[in-house]
Amino acid sequence: MAKNITGRPGLYVHIPYCDTKCAYCDFYSITRQDSRAAFIPALIREIHSYGREPYTRNTFDTIYFGGGTPSLLSVEELSRILEALRQTFPLAEDSEITLEANPGTIRPEKLKAFKELGVNRLSMGIQSFDDADLKALGRLHTARQALQSFAEARRAGFDNISLDLIFALPGQTLKRWRDNLKTLLELAPEHVSAYNLIYEPGTLFHRWREEGKLKAAPGTLEEKLYVTTMETLENAGYIMYEVSNYARGERYYSRHNSKYWDHTPYLGFGPSAHSYWPEERWSNIRSARGYNQKAHAGEPTVSFQEQLGTETRMFETVMLGLRTRRGVDLKRFAKHFKNDFGAIFRPQTEKLIREGFARIEDNHFRLTAKGLMICDEIIPHFHHD
Ligand code: SF4
């Protein structure tokens, strides 16, 4: 029998198309558009295939269009997808509907039309306000276009905008990053995601680094950039509520992404999209063509599926919780796993508390600012072999 779930689930839609492939990107994204005509009906078929128990028993309260570049969708395409979602799933009145948008791909009329369709949050892939950085990243837009797109989004009435920035780029100095943060604060977005550059295997950046064609920022600089980001944004009134995410107040926390961090279920549609529904996780084929064929044939588009055992779920709860400012909710942990967090992880927690990397507060085990900075090193210690 399907389990009852806690919290309202979310919906994710992956739009894989991009105008160009950025040199650092390891998302499933493609520039060829020839599969696109078949894609929208395939996506709608997949969405409808979930119109059954246990999914439809719940009220969903987020929709997130990620990619790829969802802002390349036409108004008509977005409208058809939203209609399919609304027909299939009960949606809360106040649902958060986010769309990732790249500067240069959104014109004022389109922004207004997206807003009228119900999109109430934009996540803009700015990455940097420095043209040299943007060129190095392989982005198509310029700093000027980024500023212009932001202004246009405001004019279209978007009052919940998130900006993405990337730091520790090759050749980036502390001063250049500070200038980036200064521009960011002048715009005063409601939400900021600031990621440090990762050289993911399979990306051009990874290859260039291996071939010595570019030099990664030294670890000490990376740390300085991270601390500068945290201090600058916190001083400006932002709350760092996850290792890379900041919001101007709790109501601007990304409701959708928070589901990933606290194990609230979500369904993902489109090629490469992931889903989680207790106690199972699955993901779709990472090919638009393959996805279209399967969906049109009425076959499952899933290429990976796993049941999550207690140990895995426990580790993931800790891993995801430790990445957030709030930390691991000890009461919820005890209720969920019928087990005491402190007793299971005593050696790890005592050491971290002693060394100033973590503390227990308000029934939560959380990392301090010092701990959050090295959370990728800390987390594996909670893994049970
Ligand atoms: S626009 Fe985004 S998804 Fe597309 S290639 Fe660049 S980083 Fe990847």
Mutate to test the pocket of ligand 1, among 13, 17, 21 (most ligand atoms within 8 A of CB): 21
Nearest CA to ligand 1 atom 6: 22
What is the third-level CATH fold of 10-261? TIM Barrel (3.20.20)
> Under 8 Å CB-to-CB from 332, ≥6 apart: which residues?
none
Query: CA 277 to CA 263: how far, in whole Å?
Result: 9
Say how many Å lie between the CA of residue 14 and the centre of ligand 1: 12
Say how many Å lie between the CA of residue 21 and the centre of ligand 1: 6
Side-chain half-sphere exposure of 266, counting CA atoms within 13 A: 25
Query: CA 23 to CA 214: how far, in whole Å?
Result: 12
- What's residue 351's pLDDT? 95
Beta bridge partners of 37: none
Torsion angle of C-alpha atoms 276, 278, 281, 283, degrees rounded to 10: -40
142 by Cβ neighbours in 10 Å (0-12 / 13-18 / 19+) ranks as: middle
The runs of H, that is alpha helices, within the chain are 36-49, 75-88, 108-117, 131-137, 143-155, 174-187, 204-210, 219-235, 255-261, 288-296, 310-322, 330-337, 341-344, 346-354, 369-373, 375-378
Nearest CA to ligand 1 atom 8: 25
- What's residue 385's pLDDT? 59
Which residues of the chain carry a pLDDT beneath 70?
Answer: 1-4, 384-385
Query: CA 161 to CA 153: how far, in whole Å?
Result: 8
What CATH architecture does domain 313-382 belong to?
Orthogonal Bundle (1.10)
| Rounded (to 5) percent helix, strand, coil in the chain | 45, 20, 35
- What's residue 1's pLDDT? 41
- What's residue 283's pLDDT? 98
The domain segmentation of the chain, as residue ranges, is: 10-261, 313-382
Shared fold status for 10-261 and 313-382: no
Q: CA 355 → CA 115, 240, 370, distances in Å? A: 48, 22, 10
121: Cα separation from own chain's centroid:
13
Q: What is the pLDDT of residues 262-306, one digit of tens each?
A: 889 999 999 999 999 998 999 999 999 999 999 999 999 999 999
